[in-house]
Structure 1
Amino acid sequence: MTAQPIPDNGGTMRETGWLGWIWFAGIMMIIMGSFNAVEGLVALFRGEYYVVTEEQVLVFDITAWGWITLLIGILVALAGGALMSGAAWARVVAVVLAVVNAVAQLMFVSVHPVWSTIVIALCVTVIWAVVVHGSQAKSMTTTTYEPSRH
């Protein structure tokens, strides 16, 4: 089933549900990126907020982790905005950054297990939405409708 805009009785366009997944993925990426950026800023300015022990998996010191998380957050948010444009390159970048974000959160899971698990689940949902429904995004943004003239 392909997603196509369909006219309603008044001649205006009504979108089918498939475009909703691309918008959902884009909005989720903007939200996740914003949260990651805040997480990174907290690590930079209030490093004592994160309690890291020797047994935890965190690979970098907290300042380096803050910069990495801040950069990933900015890139994820920008990719989310670009994803809503319908561009093919934005879909590729969105999937790559969602994978990078999930792996980064995996390294942070010992510090904040619930939060990291939620973000990883959202990353998987974003990847699914873009891979399964991404091809419809371009056709939805470029299709125009003109009522038939009888």
Structure 2
Amino acid sequence: MTTKMSHGSTHAGSGTPHLTSGWLAFAGTLALVVGAFNVIDGLVALFRDDYYLVGANDILVFDYGTWGWIWLAIGIVQIAVGAGILTGRMWARATGVALAVLAAIGHLAFLQAFPIWSVLVIALCVLLIYALTAPPAGARG
């Protein structure tokens, strides 16, 4: 007898069966991309603060150096979470949602400094939240 596997089915073989989900593979990849974008944003804020459209006094809450460290830290953690999502870790899904919300809110504050980049990252964060919450609870990427 042969076993046919398809999207959304359970895996046959040793170990416990689990659901597969293309959404989680997409979410893991998207978390890696958003994390890389945030790392790039952080490095630019740290090393080239004259790159942004407004002065340091016009940005909400912090100066560019502080935002650079914030984006760098969030980006590195998002990359690690993306790898966790791709390996099927539930903690990574929950952390991914929380980090996507934080990044989206942070990019709202950063919107005046770099509007197109921030709108793009906010849209990707919303898509990431959906991709992490849409699959069934026991699904793996």
Shift of 1:56: 3.4
What is the Cα deviation at residue 72 of structure 1?
Answer: 0.8
Structure 1 unaligned segments of length 5 or more: list them.
1-9, 142-150
Q: 2:106 is matched with which residue: 100, 104, 107?
A: 104
- Equivalent residue letter for 1:132: A
Match of 1:78 among 48, 64, 80: 80
**Aligned residue identity for 1:93:** T
Please list every run of 5 or more consecutive structure 2 residues that lacks an aligned counterpart in the other structure.
Answer: 10-19
The answer for the alignment partner of 1:147 in structure 2 is: none
Aligned residue number for residue 34 of structure 2: 32
Letter of the 1:131 counterpart: T
Distance 1:56 1:48 in 2: 13
Cα distance in 1 between the residues matched to 2:71 and 2:98: 15
Extract structure 1 runs of 4+ deviating beyond 4 A. Answer: none
Residue from 1, 5, 15 that aligns with 1:13:
5
Q: TM-score, normalised to structure 1's length?
A: 0.77
Task: Give, in angstroms, the shift of residue 119 of structure 1.
Answer: 1.1
Q: CA RMSD in A?
A: 2.3
Higher mean C-alpha displacement, 54-63 vs 82-91: 54-63
- AA partner of residue 15 (structure 1): H
1:121 equivalent to 2:123? Answer yes
Q: 2:48 & 2:75 partners in 1: Cα distance?
A: 18
Of 81, 91, 94 in structure 2, the residue corresponding to residue 92 of structure 1 is 94
The percentage of aligned residue pairs carrying the same residue is: 42
Amino acid at match of 2:47: F
Q: Partners in 1 of 2:87 and 2:136 — Cα distance?
A: 11
Distance apart, 1:114 and its partner CA: 1.7
Cα distance change of structure 1 residues 54 and 90 upon mapping to structure 2, 3 Å threshold: closer
Distance 2:80 2:136 in 1: 17
TM-score by length of 2: 0.81
Aligned-residue offset at 1:122: 1.1
User: Residue 116 of structure 1 aligns to which amino acid in structure 2?
Assistant: S
Note if contact 1:29-1:77 (Cα within 8 Å) is conserved in structure 2: yes
Q: Alpha-carbon deviations, 1:119-139, whole Å to 9, x = none? A: 11111111111112152424x
1:78 CA drift (Å): 1.0
Deviation by residue 1:75-98 (Cα, 9 ceiling, x = unmatched): 111111111122221111111111
Please give the per-residue CA displacement for 1:57-111, whole angstroms capped at 9, x wherever unaligned: 4321111111111111111111111111222211111111111111111111111
